[in-house]
Chain A
Amino acid sequence: MPVPFDPSETFAEYANPEVLVSTEWLAANLGSAGLVVLESDEDVLLYQSGHIPTARKIDWFTELNDDVVRDYLSGTDFAALLSAKGINRDDTVVIYGDKSNWWAAYALWVFKLFGHSDVRLLNGGRDKWIAEGRELTRETQDFATTQYPVVERNDAPIRAFRDDVLAHFGNPLIDVRSPQEYSGERTHMPDYPEEGALRGGHIPSAASVPWAKAANEDKTFKNLADLKALYLDEAGLKAGDDVIAYCRIGERSSHTWFVLKYLLGFESVRNYDGSWTEWGSSVGVPIVKGTEAGLAPAPRR
């Protein structure tokens, strides 16, 4: 059974305030029936080093991807994973993680591919919880496994493939990578090792809005006015736009996808998870180098 929404005033201005919970709300609701808390981090040892009491770990590297094909879990795999984590289809799932919830948003996006209805993010994530001196534990709690139903993945509404991007030209694209990746100076994040793309640059016409601009210093999401300034005024998105966001493998762009979809309320937003590691190595697709967005080519359908 889902648990009640966080009624915090702070969230009321967003298009979908029910997708966020505050640290206060979570602290008060830990242990509620129907609530499962999941931690999703970039650093796979961080959960073990101390986590929010009752939280279970979800591992983006070993649990959300297919072992062989570059793709996400199948419906059967997802049902097995959620059953093992003791999650029911109608449970409220609150996800939090390191780095401004970057990997938490990624896990949430994968949950949405399977239509899990009530998934929320802890605003400010792991860092805010710790900064407020709240309890962490290394104890894991026993829980009963469940029978999560097999639901086929429904990619089309929120996931874009390479050919969808080629057909999308003329509609807005948001590149959420660093300025150096956007210009083509480098094909990986600053301070991160090289991770295979054969060309540098960006998809023609994509606006550059590095993902972390949507987060405050304390890792919470920026308020509505700031988000509008960033995505509407600066990046030029307009109400009703059909938007595709991308990064390097689709993780940072999940954070932006979450902001556009749930906080700003764009109905049609897709995450292109193939992102630069696919586009930058794909034969014959258009690329722009430098800081200018470039013109959209004719869509290829």
Chain B
Amino acid sequence: MTNPPSVTSLITDFNELGVQDRLSLLLEYSDNLPSLPARYLDHPDLLERVEECQSPIYLFVEVNEDDVVHLFFSAPAEAPTTRGFASVLHEALNGLPAKVVLEVDNNFPDEMGLTVAVSPLRMNGMRAMLARIKRQIREKTA
């Protein structure tokens, strides 16, 4: 497992902050989660529900002909933690080559210093999102 610079810099950004500021940074990510493009807004059936998350979150992975990964998420405003996790994954992984994403450490969510502020169930939800992203990539590049 090797983390690309986008993942290691996220881990550094979060860990340099105090616990409250880590939550503020996660909220910034939550606020900035890109909205779904029209092609998915009209076709919610294409999205995959992340069952492991406490709040409803859906994701979809595109892998284009150059094997570049594009991620799409949908999560409600009432679930800012879940939205924040989705947005962090978007920041870290969107636009990377498929094989780079598949090599990302499955446990990197636990390295972000959030386990002191966020319950284990929720951290589990973020790892589950990552696992589902990888599974979709494997299916689409097989």
Cβ of B30 within 8 Å of any chain A Cβ, yes or no, is: yes
Residues of B close to A61: CB separation below 8 A: 117-119
Contact call A46/B121, Cβ cutoff below 8 A: no
Contact call A62/B121, Cβ cutoff below 8 A: no
Cβ of A44 within 8 Å of any chain B Cβ, yes or no, is: yes
Are A62 and B23 CB-contacts (below 8 A) given A193-B52, A193-B124?
A: no
Residues of A close to B30: CB separation below 8 A: 45, 49
Question: Which listed residue (A45, A98, A191, A193) contacts B23, Cβ 8 A?
Answer: A45
Q: In chain B between 101 and 126, which residues have their CB closer than 8 angstroms to a CB of chain A?
A: 116-119, 121-122, 124-125
Contact call B54/A191, Cβ cutoff below 8 A: yes
- B28 CB, min distance to chain A CBs, angstroms: 10
- A106 CB, min distance to chain B CBs, angstroms: 13
- B112 CB, min distance to chain A CBs, angstroms: 14
Cβ of B26 within 8 Å of any chain A Cβ, yes or no, is: yes
Residues of A close to B55: CB separation below 8 A: 43
- A58 CB, min distance to chain B CBs, angstroms: 14
Kindly count the residue-residue contacts between A and B in the assembled complex, taking CB atoms under 8 Å apart. 51
Pick the interface stretch among B4-12, B75-83, B131-139: B75-83
Cβ of A195 within 8 Å of any chain B Cβ, yes or no, is: yes
A248-269 CB contact bits vs B (8 Å, 1 = yes)?
Answer: 0000000000000000000000
Question: Which listed residue (A45, A59, A191) contacts B26, Cβ 8 A?
Answer: A45
Contact call A44/B117, Cβ cutoff below 8 A: yes
- A108 CB, min distance to chain B CBs, angstroms: 20
Cβ of A155 within 8 Å of any chain B Cβ, yes or no, is: no
Inter-chain CA distance A30–B118, complex, in Å, is: 29
Contact call B80/A45, Cβ cutoff below 8 A: yes
B1-41 CB contact bits vs A (8 Å, 1 = yes)?
Answer: 00000000000000000000001101100110000000000
Question: Which listed residue (B77, B78, B80, B125) contacts A193, Cβ 8 A?
Answer: B125
Contact call B54/A49, Cβ cutoff below 8 A: no
- A186 CB, min distance to chain B CBs, angstroms: 12
Contact call B121/A192, Cβ cutoff below 8 A: yes
A2-43 CB contact bits vs B (8 Å, 1 = yes)?
Answer: 000000000000000000000000000000000000000011
Cβ of A282 within 8 Å of any chain B Cβ, yes or no, is: no
Contact call B78/A43, Cβ cutoff below 8 A: yes
A184-221 CB contact bits vs B (8 Å, 1 = yes)?
Answer: 00000001110100000000000000000000000000
Cβ of A281 within 8 Å of any chain B Cβ, yes or no, is: no
Contact call A195/B121, Cβ cutoff below 8 A: yes
Question: Which listed residue (B23, B121, B124, B125) contacts A48, Cβ 8 A?
Answer: B23
Residues of A close to B128: CB separation below 8 A: 193
- Report the nearest A residue to B56, measured CB to CB: A191
Question: Which listed residue (A45, A49, A98, A193) contacts B121, Cβ 8 A?
Answer: A193
Inter-chain CA distance A48–B87, complex, in Å, is: 17
Inter-chain CA distance A254–B24, complex, in Å, is: 29
- A41 CB, min distance to chain B CBs, angstroms: 10
Q: In chain A between 38 and 69, which residues have their CB closer than 8 angstroms to a CB of chain B?
A: 42-46, 48-49, 59, 61-62
- Report the nearest A residue to B52, measured CB to CB: A193
Contact call A48/B24, Cβ cutoff below 8 A: yes
B60-80 CB contact bits vs A (8 Å, 1 = yes)?
Answer: 000000000000000001111
- A91 CB, min distance to chain B CBs, angstroms: 24
Question: Which listed residue (B52, B78, B82, B117) contacts A98, Cβ 8 A?
Answer: B78
Inter-chain CA distance A44–B78, complex, in Å, is: 11
Contact call A45/B125, Cβ cutoff below 8 A: no
24 contacts between A and B (CB under 8 A): A43-B55, A43-B82, A44-B81, A44-B119, A45-B23, A45-B26, A45-B30, A45-B80, A45-B84, A46-B80, A46-B81, A48-B24, A48-B80, A49-B30, A49-B80, A61-B117, A61-B118, A61-B119, A62-B116, A62-B117, A98-B78, A192-B54, A192-B121, A193-B125
Residues of A within 8 A of B (CB): 42-46, 48-49, 59, 61-62, 98, 191-193, 195
Closest 5 A/B residue pairs (Cβ)? A45-B80, A49-B80, A45-B81, A193-B52, A61-B119
